[in-house]
Structure 1
Amino acid sequence: MKSFWKSYLTGLQLHVTIAKYTKVPITWIDDDYTPDVNKLYYIQEGEGYIKVGNRKYYPKPGDLCLLPADVVQSYGTLNSNTFGKYWCHFTAKLDNFNLFHVLETPTITTVSDHPALKDKFDQLIHYHESDEWTAELHVQATFLEILAMYLEQAGQVQINTPATSSFEKMNVLFTYIEEHLAENITVNTLAQLVHFHPNYFIRMFKNATGLSPIQYVNRKRMDKARQLLSFTSLSVSAVAESLGMDATYFSRLFKEYTALSPSEYRDISNGNS
């Protein structure tokens, strides 16, 4: 499952709709509403409450709170010492499913490195408000780091894979690719595994992973090549052969992915440069 999710999360479709820091007013209150976006609160000061479903929480400074979309929620103040919080609204889709319907995570978690998380939120707000043409790239990159920090420290995460979705089909495909990297993997072969027409299969695969099937296979081969170059003494030719590739083509493709030749990569990974 770890390998499956590592592959599947490459297809995460993410969009941050707003990012701010707010010292909320005493009138900050709403009851039993259902947002169509996910919300992330990083509490810095003050008191208040949030309610997700039937459970009420009283977050403390330092708590990171995830309120998923399409779930009944409430929030409010307790007194004049109101929340000061970083917050953002965002969508996160995997194959048209809300990520937090597929992954069941705690509503509240506390991260270990508060200065780092605060810095990330400051960056997120800066880039979200920036008019630089690269700002959206920075927003995506920064929020992905925040999201990774949340998931890594959220403790127990339960996976609710919809049995009728393409999750099962993608699991079949990812497993097959991992086990047959040294073979000639064709689009037709992969499409037949999940009983799709090749043209439809290519669209489905790219929607799920963000890559074409061949791009994905080559990326997995290059990931494997980096491991072999870093942790074994196999020659470059032997690494290429283990991946079912001609040595010349392998070297050219490796350099496209890493900007280094296989030998240069090995030297750097072994501390020889």
Structure 2
Amino acid sequence: MKLTYRTIIQNYFHRFQAEVSMAAYSSTPPGNHTYLTPEIYRIWLIQEGEGLLTFGGRTMEMKPGQLMLVPPSAFPALEAHVDVAVSLYWCHFRAPIGDMEVFDLLQLPICVVPKDEEQERMKLLFEQLLAAFRSTQLTRELRIRASMFELLACFLEYGGIDESTLNAIEPLEKVDRVLEYIEEHLSEAIAIEDLARLVYLHPNYFIGYFKSIVGYAPAQYVNIRRLELARTLLEDQELSITDVARKVGMQNHYFSRIFKQHIGVTPSRYRHIFHSAPKGVEGTEGSV
């Protein structure tokens, strides 16, 4: 996947917020027609029975094994078939409109079907979510979010991301030119005016436009990319710290300070940790 799209999507996920309002396991009686609250997002794992889901003018079949992410819509409804109940795990959650834009952006399917060996894992995640929802522990909210985010991650992985669809989205195409320019000039001073000129926008308007798509103001994003590049460069022992600082467009003293501020260790300490740790292990002796 192109760096542009990976960056934008990961930034959306990084700042994603959601509040679980209800979670349970229940059954809809045979033939029952249930109208759903339109403003709520839903995650469902169908366990038994068959039925129909109607939302946004669409109708789709519900069958055991499906994992569904149902967005808010006008007049949503669930109808069980006349001869069997529909039993399912479900979770309701609310999220700010901006936080959910990524799901529209990715144009994901409503329904995915995890492999047989993954079905028990999905069920276990819902059981953990339900247990956390009923809990009175101080850590309740953390465990609720952990289970829900894991379910969302599983849905996204099974739903797939069609890069050709993203290529057709004009805002992404425009900001793509900006991100490519940034990548090519990380070792140089990057002016907001130069970035704004690439998309024919006034600098003042460009800052908000860029942040609305990428998730960070241009200056923040440039620093993030410089630090990410620095981490990669520090893994090459042939480059001095001064060389690394120069390649990411920073003075040596400023680079060391900003690197420690964001990563938590100095550049030299990061390099030592990276090369001292056994393969596959992120750690080594000494202080952190």
**Could you state the TM-score of these two structures normalised by the residue count of structure 1?**
0.78
| Closer, same or farther: CA 240–153 of 1 in aligned 2, 3 Å | same
CA distance in 2, matches of 1:181, 1:220: 8
Map 1:158-237 onto structure 2 (within 5 A). 160-161=165-166, 166-230=171-235, 233-237=238-242
User: Offset at 1:120?
Assistant: 4.8
Stretch deviating more after TM superposition (139-148 or 19-28): 139-148
Contact persistence 1:110–1:153 (CA under 8 A): yes
**Which one-letter code corresponds to 2:105 in the other structure?**
V
**Which one-letter code corresponds to 2:79 in the other structure?**
G
**Which one-letter code corresponds to 1:89 in the other structure?**
F
User: Offset at 1:181?
Assistant: 1.2
CA distance in 2, matches of 1:126, 1:249: 48
Map 1:79-228 onto structure 2 (within 5 A). 79=83, 81-91=85-95, 93=97, 98-106=101-109, 107-110=111-114, 113=118, 117-118=122-123, 120-121=125-126, 143-155=148-160, 157=162, 160-161=165-166, 166-228=171-233
CA distance in 2, matches of 1:148, 1:195: 36
CA distance in 2, matches of 1:30, 1:22: 16
**Which one-letter code corresponds to 1:193 in the other structure?**
L
| Alignment deviations for residues 30-58 of structure 1 (CA, whole Å, 9 cap, x no partner) | 47x89444422123x32233436655333
Contact persistence 2:19–2:94 (CA under 8 A): yes
* Structure 2: tracts of 5 or more residues without a match: 278-283
| Alignment match, 1:8 | 8
CA distance in 1, matches of 2:264, 2:157: 30
| Alignment deviations for residues 155-197 of structure 1 (CA, whole Å, 9 cap, x no partner) | 4646544967533332222222122211111222222222222
**Which one-letter code corresponds to 1:196 in the other structure?**
L
**Which one-letter code corresponds to 1:247 in the other structure?**
N
Matched length: 269
Map 1:25-104 onto structure 2 (within 5 A). 25-26=28-29, 29-30=33-34, 35-43=38-46, 45-51=47-53, 54=58, 56-61=60-65, 63-70=66-73, 74-78=77-81, 79=83, 81-91=85-95, 93=97, 98-104=101-107
For the residue of structure 1 that corresponds to 2:226, the secondary structure is helix
| Closer, same or farther: CA 126–236 of 1 in aligned 2, 3 Å | farther
| Alignment match, 1:22 | 25
User: Offset at 1:146?
Assistant: 3.1
Structure with larger Rg: 2
User: Offset at 1:82?
Assistant: 3.4
| Alignment deviations for residues 10-41 of structure 1 (CA, whole Å, 9 cap, x no partner) | 1455433534022134175347x894444221
| Alignment deviations for residues 209-243 of structure 1 (CA, whole Å, 9 cap, x no partner) | 33221111101111111122235642222211111
| Alignment deviations for residues 81-111 of structure 1 (CA, whole Å, 9 cap, x no partner) | 53130323344755x8833332222322316
| Alignment match, 2:280 | none
For the residue of structure 1 that corresponds to 2:235, the secondary structure is helix
| Alignment match, 2:273 | 268
* Structure 1: tracts of 5 or more residues without a match: none
| Alignment deviations for residues 140-167 of structure 1 (CA, whole Å, 9 cap, x no partner) | 6654443222212224646544967533
CA distance in 1, matches of 2:131, 2:213: 30
CA distance in 2, matches of 1:223, 1:170: 20
